[in-house]
Amino acid sequence: MTDTTSNVELSDDTFRRHRLAGYLIAAIGIAALAVAPFLGIYPIFLMKLLCFALFACAFNLMLGYVGLLSFGHAAFFGMAAYVAGHAVKVWGIGTVFGIAAGTLTAGIMGLVFGAIAIRQKGIYFAMITLALAQMVFFFCLQAPFTHGEDGIQGIPRGTVFGLIDLRDTLTMYYFVAVIFAAGFFVLHRTVHSPFGQALKGIRENEPRMISLGYPVALLKVLAFTMSAAITGLAGATKAIVFQSATLTDVNWHMSGEVVLMTLIGGMGTILGPVAGAGIVIALQNYLSTIGSWVTVVMGAIFVICVLTFRRGIVGEILARTRR
């Protein structure tokens, strides 16, 4: 009886420590977002980093927590960018509603893609998502509203409900930071909810989850839809930040980049994709002077990280702190 009571107290104490650590990390993160533009870091670079960090976090929901590798997430990222850009520039709707339209479009696409591909596993799932994404790419190449290879240019940043002018770069940065924080919070709550625990169970032992009566296919479709929607949120926001939506956003190379970010940072960790996105975007930015050699350097760094940090950088740090 004493041992049981002691174990419960230890468990409660561990839970409190983890919760306190979570609050501390959140406070540090919010403070970092608030002061980053005043530390000599270019706001445009920070906004790009936040958009891709949110993209990587959304992708990690599928790869890290469900265990399914998708090569189709560029379709959600790019299509949301096109829809948001077209809605704001051509239809003249507000920036927030344009981003919401892009997010909703990506979510609907995720639901359709998920319903088609989710019963497959491994390489078959990856190839189906890649094929569907390529269909979206060629649609965007031909569709009149995307303007083909020229893309949608000159997207106005607009205002937030007519109250906050987003043409100011610093104001735009804080708007993007709020979107990132909201998306990250939703993902964090999801992976720590009963739904998130069920997704981890599917990743670890899908047949057992089926035998326990869980609607595995439905859970995976819901996770895929959520991942697609938040990916769309990142893509739509990026289109407003850079005032353009192009074929680069929907190209399969974009899916490859987000895989790279997730693996370098650490899949199955909530902060890993953020770290991975920061590393990849920073390297792309600072190595841009070497032209096409950037791809070679990035490939070499990826190989080194995979061989040195098998769980990803954040994954290795967490594993060592738990010893």
Instruction: Summarize the confidence of residues 5-27 as an average pLDDT.
Output: 58
The rounded distance, in Å, linking the Cα atoms of 203 and 201 is 5
Distances (CA, A) of 99 to 237, 238, 306, 317: 6, 10, 35, 35
> Which residue would you say has higher pLDDT here, 262 or 18?
262
- DSSP 3-state percent helix, strand, coil across the chain (nearest 5): 80, 0, 20
Please state which of the ranges 16-20, 63-67, 106-110 shows the lowest mean pLDDT.
16-20
Q: Could you tell me the residue ranges of all domains in the chain?
A: 44-252
Position 1 confidence tier, pLDDT thresholds 50, 70, 90? very low
To the nearest whole number, what is the mean pLDDT of the chain? 87
Mean pLDDT value across residues 61-82:
93
The whole-number pLDDT of residue 309 equals 77
- Answer whether residue 80 shows pLDDT above 90: yes
What is the separation of C-alpha 252 from the centre of its chain, rounded to a whole number of angstroms?
15
Residue 62: what pLDDT? 93
> Rounded mean pLDDT of 157-169?
89
List, as one string, the DSSP characters of 253-319. Answer: HHHHHHHHHHHHH-TTSSSHHHHHHHHHHHHHHHTGGGTTHHHHHHHHHHHHHHHH-TT-HHHHHHH
The tens digit of pLDDT for each residue in 112-121 reads: 999 999 888 8
Tokens of 56: 């990587």
Report the pLDDT value the prediction gives residue 311, as an integer from 0 to 100. Answer: 79
Assigned token pair, 285: 């930015």
Confidence at 238, pLDDT banded by 50, 70, 90: very high
Name the band, by pLDDT with cuts 50, 70 and 90, for residue 8.
Answer: very low
**If pLDDT is split at 50, 70 and 90, which confidence band does 308 have?**
confident
Alpha carbons 130 and 253: distance in angstroms, whole number: 11
Question: Would the pTM count as exceeding 0.75?
Answer: yes
Write out pLDDT tens, residues 190-237.
999 999 999 999 999 899 999 989 999 999 999 999 999 999 999 999
- Give the pLDDT confidence score for residue 127 in this predicted structure: 93
List, for residues 283-293, the tens digit of each pLDDT value: 888 877 776 77
Residue 159: φ, ψ to 5°:
-135, 170
For residue 209, what are the contacts with CB-CB under 8 A and spacing of at least 6? Answer: 198, 201, 202, 216
CA angle 64, 65, 69 (to 5 degrees): 50
For residue 15, is pLDDT > 60? no
Q: Answer yes or no: is pLDDT of 92 > 80.
A: yes
